[in-house]
Structure 1
Amino acid sequence: MSTTLAPYKVEFLKAAIDGGILKFGSFELKSKRISPYFFNAGNFYSANLLRAISTAYAKTIIEASTSSTPLEFDILFGPAYKGIPLACATVDKLADLLPEKYGKVCYSFDRKEAKDHGEGGNIVGAPLKGKRVLIVDDVVTAGTAKREAIDKIRKEGGIVVGILVALDRMEKLPAPNGDNPSTPMPSAIGEIRKEYGIPVLSILTLNDIIGGLKGKISEEDIRQMQEYKDKYRASD
């Protein structure tokens, strides 16, 4: 693996490949584009892989929290369904790595349908009212699910301070008049940053994958990813 990436990124990239989470070939996306790579965070289902992704999330948070604009939060929120284990495991890992800072950080997640008995409500875990909330999820595709999560958190009185995902594909949204590669368009991540004025962080970007795997996978796979990036590069 490349030594230009932070060690935790290198370890995460290796775990993603070894675990079959990051694959190379030909994959049709929801957008109908044919991608030369595919990342499925739902496959982090074994203990060692869940530990790998929660460690990478936690270290990304710690790195962001020591920047010039520190990321401060009270709750990690995992949107149903993939975000639920990610938020829970990351809270545990943060407390393990920096107990003095994160020992009392909480987690919450939403229900797809509101509970109509018992305590009721849409939220499971820590109450969100008046709390700073960081959303943790796998990827941003069109941004619809993240907007829904932000709306739910705000309705509960929470303050969304950012979003953290595993991978930024650095890919533009399809143009309204058709998916013409020559039409400049922003990414879904860029649109969320602009619309809500919050940071959207990622463990890895497509640049990280291309740079980190040069010489480690076939030159053809690297070439195809580079061409795909150039073709669908976001304008932000």
Structure 2
Amino acid sequence: MTTSPAVAQEFVAFAVEAGVLRFGEFKTKAGRLSPYFFNAGLFDDGAKLGRLAQFYAQTLIASGLQFDMIFGPAYKGITLAAAVAMELARMGRNVPYAYNRKEAKDHGEGGTLVGAPVKGRVLIIDDVISAGTSVRESIAMIQAAGATPCGVTIALDRQEKAAEGGVDKPWSAVQYVTRELGLPVVPIATLTDLLQYLRSGSNSALGEHVERVDAYRQRYGI
């Protein structure tokens, strides 16, 4: 699924201004030297989180994806699920949300799931999909609760080849989730959108990074 080009460009600009999307040289989990880094943990105040939630909510509504509730995998997904549920309610689409604990609680209500009962069509929300591990774990928890995973929404699709054991695969983590796990993925923006933003000249200070980001995509992109 694709996002509105205008919304995607606005989101990339916002991520740059918020210091969440940075350029330089960063080592990824796959051991690659990436010319950019997206750290959703830096949406770290009320204004930034609220704006992020608006982008998620706008993207989800525009996608037409049908879901009954939101599930946020620990840890980043917890804050995202809560914030997006609030924004959707503000926009007239009130849905429940739930999340998981990393360790089961053996007192009180117990268990690993917190929040609304997990049932119906469940949308998983996260910042990015690096290897699909978090999505697989979320699917297992949702299905164990008797509900149906119906899709995943993320902030940025890196459109980058997955790597296992140091070997590049001919598919991305997002493609893996779509093809192998059978779930549609709804990103707010993609690496294509990021490159378009850099090439647009709307932020002249970032023009020097176009070639490096493009070269990285030529090498590792899908």
Q: Structure 1-normalised TM-score?
A: 0.87
Whole-angstrom distance in 2 between the partners of 1:194 and 1:10: 27
Corresponding position: 1:187 with 2:172 = yes
Aligned AA for 1:95?
Answer: A
What's the counterpart of residue 9 of structure 2? 10
Post-superposition Cα deviations, 1:112-140, rounded to whole Å, max 9, x if no partner, equal: 111111111111011113x1100010000
Question: Where is the strand percentage greater, Structure 1 or Structure 2?
Answer: 2
- Residues 122 and 10 of structure 1: CA distance in aligned 2, closer, same or farther (over 3 Å): same
User: Aligned pair 1:72/2:61, yes or no?
Assistant: no
2:185 to 182, 193, 200: 200
Residues 35-63 of structure 1: CA deviation (Å, up to 9, x unaligned): 00000001111111101110010011011
Identity percentage of aligned residues: 45
Q: RCO (CA 8 Å, sep 6+): is it higher in 1 or 2? A: 2
Unaligned 5+ segments in structure 2 are none
Three-state SS of the structure 2 residue aligned to 1:141 is: coil
Secondary structure at the aligned position of 2:170 is classed as coil
2:115 aligns with 125
Deviations 1:54-90 (A, max 9, x none): 001001101101xxxxx11111111000001111110
2:75 corresponds to: 81
CA RMSD across the alignment: 1.5
Matches within 5 A, 1:32-43: 32-43=31-42
What's the offset of the Cα at 1:145?
A: 1.2
Task: Give 1:224 shift.
Answer: 0.6
Tell me which amino acid in the other structure corresponds to 1:223: E
Kindly indicate whether the alpha-carbon contact (under 8 Å) linking 1:175 and 1:185 is maintained by their aligned counterparts in 2: no
8 Å contact kept, 1:143–1:192: yes
Structure 1 contact 174–185 (Cα < 8 Å) conserved: no
Matches within 5 A, 1:70-109: 71-97=65-91, 99=92, 102-103=93-94, 105-109=95-99
The residue type paired with residue 229 of structure 1 is R
Distance in 2 separating the partners of 1:179 and 1:10: 32
Superposition deviation, residue 211 in structure 1 = 0.3
Which residue number in structure 1 is paired with residue 140 of structure 2? 151
CA distance in 2, matches of 1:164, 1:145: 13
Q: CA deviation at 1:169?
A: 0.3
Instruction: Provide runs of 4+ in structure 1 moved above 4 Å.
Output: none
- Distance in 1 separating the partners of 2:181 and 2:41: 27
Structure 1 residues 152 and 175 mapped into 2: Cα distance closer, same or farther (>3 Å)?
Answer: closer
1:171 and 2:172 aligned: no
Contact preservation (8 Å) 2:9, 2:193 = no
Task: Report the alpha carbon displacement of residue 146 of structure 1 after superposing the two structures with TM.
Answer: 1.2
Aligned residue in 1 for 2:151: 162
* Contact 2:159/2:221 (8 A) holds in 1: yes
Q: What is the CA–CA distance in structure 2 between the aligned matches of 1:123 and 1:174, rounded to whole Å?
A: 30
Which segments of 5 or more consecutive residues in structure 1 lack a partner in the other structure?
66-70
Task: Name the CA distance, whole Å, in 1 between partners of 2:164 and 2:14.
Answer: 34
Q: Which of these residues, 133, 138, 141, is aligned with residue 127 of structure 2?
A: 138
**SS of the residue 1:174 aligns to:** strand
- Find the counterpart in structure 2 of residue 213 from structure 1: 198
Cα offset, 1:175, TM superposition = 5.5
How far residue 213 of structure 1 moved from its aligned partner, in angstroms, is: 2.5
The residue type paired with residue 174 of structure 1 is A
Task: Tell me how far apart the structure 1 counterparts of residues 47 and 110 of structure 2 sit (CA, whole Å).
Answer: 35
Q: CA deviation at 1:94?
A: 1.0
One-letter code aligned to 2:78? I
> For residue 228 of structure 1, what is the amino acid of its counterpart?
Y
